Structure formats: structure tokens, C-alpha cells
Structure 1
């Protein structure tokens, strides 16, 4: 078995509380546009997931998916310029809510102390994800960021993991992938020849046939 050289982390909802930031941000933004109710956050999540998947599959560009999310959620037919302006109201609130999980920095430092590289592989726009690392204080803890906007395919396409390993200068068997998505961060990496651990903070996958932890503090290799 090859010696472990790097641990590859997912970013959103693994190192950064992306879902929490989105929930907190959308409530005030929606209220500004006369939308309220207990289901606001859930509706925004559903709309966002649908159009972000279209972006991940290369059906839409990054800015286009933002426009479509704003149009559908607010129920308006507006120009691209107006859609951009509408989404900006949400984006300002969203970025202000970004925060790293308490176990993120200690774990990244523990990985480095063990002589391993810290790599992040994220399905997203490179500029956007680099800003996220900067604003959450994680940039200094990460050796390499690979955003799938810089790759020909997103997770769980095997090419995303293999090309990440190539950029890190390691073989797939020398990497361990850690993330909160069973499909993107466990099944996909395993198919590509990497080892993988599922971060299941809310016990959503009790029957998963995979190594599973509830906190990054429990990560071992």
C-alpha cells in the first residue's frame, strides 16, 4: 500500500458552514423583498441546489446560475443586469456569514504536523472559493486549492479527483478524501482509486458502507 502523502478536503459544509451561512443570509434578503415564512430557507436551498447542479454540469455559467436562483426564488422576470443586482443583496449577507467550523483549523494543522499536505477540492468557482478561504481564515492552512471551475469536470466525475492528485504531485493511492457528501466525497473518490472518509455531522448516513466520522476531530489516517 502506498504511503499517505495528502489529505484532500471538501470545502462547503466540511470546512466551512456554507448551509448555515445561506440560511442566515436568505431570511433578511427575502424579507427585504416581501417574502417570509418558516419555509424560506428550505425554498432557497431547493432553488439553489437545482441551479447549482446545472452549473456543476456545465449547463449554466457561474453568474448565470446566480441569476436563475434570484429570478426563481423572487418570482420575477428581469434582465441579467437587474438579476445581478438582486442577487448582490443576498451575496453581501451570505459572505458576511461565512465561518469555518471549530474543528477545521485544528484538523488542518494536525494534518500538516503529521507531514502531510492539506488540499481542498471543491465544486465551485475558483475566485469565489478563494475568497471564502480568505474570509474564513483558512487560506493560510491550505497548501493547495483546486476548484472544479479550473477542471474539465466536477465531482463526482473521476477526472476531478485524478487531476487534483496530479496537481498535488501525488498518486491517487497516496491521497485520502474527506467530505460531507457520500456521492462526491466518498463514492466518487473510491472509484477513482483514492481512500475516503465521510464527514457525517448530523448522522444523515447511518447505513453508509464507508468510514464515517461526526467531527473532524475524529479524523485519523
Structure 2
């Protein structure tokens, strides 16, 4: 079972380039614009995962807080569209993804993606990057009672797959949301640390998906 954003798809780079172009169009010259957008986005996306906001509402709240301006829903949707178009244009897949997914399937494993996101958007990522044929099941948090790291996200996904928790491995880039949360409900888990910045965390860790073993 794989996470999607920043595990299979380079979300961080796409988001960074998108907000820089969007901010330039809005005449925002803040040197901290990328970090500020990331903080605002994380805060409201977490609220969405806890079901405090709908997916559309979290987008609007991100825009309102980021710009510090009161606006209607329609105005917020229009402004967010300027970011979203750039973000979608920036989607790319990491080079180690397709070979790894194919190795897993060749080993007789069911390949699933468990992602914190809205189902249609996450499916669009897979389709655009030609990853849909490489996986068996996509489970987006919009289909679940709550998103990662809530235990129900993992428990429900395992139920949907028809497998035992002890026979399932989670691979993701987030120590808290992907790895520790999966371990807490009986899955095995491996941290993907592409930047080699999370050493000595006490869990299995790889820097590339090529390093995963499916024996």
C-alpha cells in the first residue's frame, strides 16, 4: 500500500512552482510565500481530513487566510483556480515509481494507493501520469470516515482490500501520517525518505522505492 503525494507523485515541487506563479500574478512579493502557503494549506487540509470542512471549503479557507481578505465563495473559488491550474500542470511522477509498482505486482502482491485527498482529483493524477494501469486499487480519504493518520483510514482500506493487516505494508513519506499510524494498527510500514533527512527514527526507511524488497 502506497501513499500518493510526495511518494509516487512530486506534489511538493508542483505546489511550490504553482504558488510562485500564482503569487506573482497577484503581485505578492513575500519571500516566504511558499512556506506560508504550505502552512496554510496543511492547516486547512488537516481540518478536511477531520471532516470539519468539505473539500471545497478547505480550498476557500486556504485562499482567505493566505490573502487575508474576506470574500465570497465564488470569489475564493475563482482565485484558487489560478493556483490549481498551475498545480495540475506541474504534476510529475518520480522515476522509481513504475518499476517498483511492476516489481510488486510481479511478486503477486495487490498494489493499492491510500491517499489523503479527494477521489476525483487523485484519480486525475493517476490518469494524467499514466499510473492507473499500474495499481489495483485507489482509496482516497474522501471515501473514508477520516483521513490518515486516523486509524479508521487504514482499517477501512484493509477491509476494502480483503486482506489482513499483518499481511499489509504501508509505504509513505510522512513518518506520522503514513508510517507510525500504520504501525499502530498492525500493518508493517516503511518510511520513504528521499531527501535523507529523517535518520534514526526507529522505523524501516528507504531513500528510493528501488530499495524496497518484495521477497
Q: What TM-score, normalized to structure 1? A: 0.94
Q: Write out per-residue CA displacement over residues 176-203 of structure 1, whole angstroms, 9 at most, x where no aligned residue.
A: 1100011111111111111100001112
Q: Distance in 1 between matches of 2:37 and 2:117?
A: 18
Q: Distance in 2 between matches of 1:58 and 1:198?
A: 26
Q: Does 1:84 align with 2:77?
A: yes
1:156 to 133, 149, 154: 149
Q: Distance in 2 between matches of 1:135 and 1:29?
A: 22
Q: Does 1:134 align with 2:127?
A: yes
Q: Distance in 1 between matches of 2:146 and 2:18?
A: 29
Deviation at 1:204, TM superposition (A): 2.3
Q: Distance in 2 between matches of 1:56 and 1:122?
A: 11
Q: Distance in 1 between matches of 2:81 and 2:6?
A: 22
Deviation at 1:37, TM superposition (A): 3.9
Deviation at 1:38, TM superposition (A): 3.0
Q: Is the 8 A contact 1:27 1:36 kept in 2?
A: no
Structure 1's consecutive aligned runs of 4 or more residues displaced over 3 angstroms after TM superposition are none
Q: Write out per-residue CA displacement over residues 64-85 of structure 1, whole angstroms, 9 at most, x where no aligned residue.
A: 0100111111222110001000
Q: Distance in 1 between matches of 2:16 and 2:164?
A: 38
Q: Distance in 2 between matches of 1:176 and 1:25?
A: 32
1:43 to 17, 36, 48: 36
Q: Is the 8 A contact 1:155 1:188 kept in 2?
A: yes
- SS of the residue aligned with 2:59? helix
Higher relative contact order (CA 8 A, sep 6+): 1
Q: Write out per-residue CA displacement over residues 34-88 of structure 1, whole angstroms, 9 at most, x where no aligned residue.
A: 1124322111111111111111111111000100111111222110001000000
Q: What TM-score, normalized to structure 2? A: 0.97
Q: Distance in 1 between matches of 2:156 and 2:207?
A: 28
CA RMSD of aligned residues (A): 1.0
- SS of the residue aligned with 1:197? strand
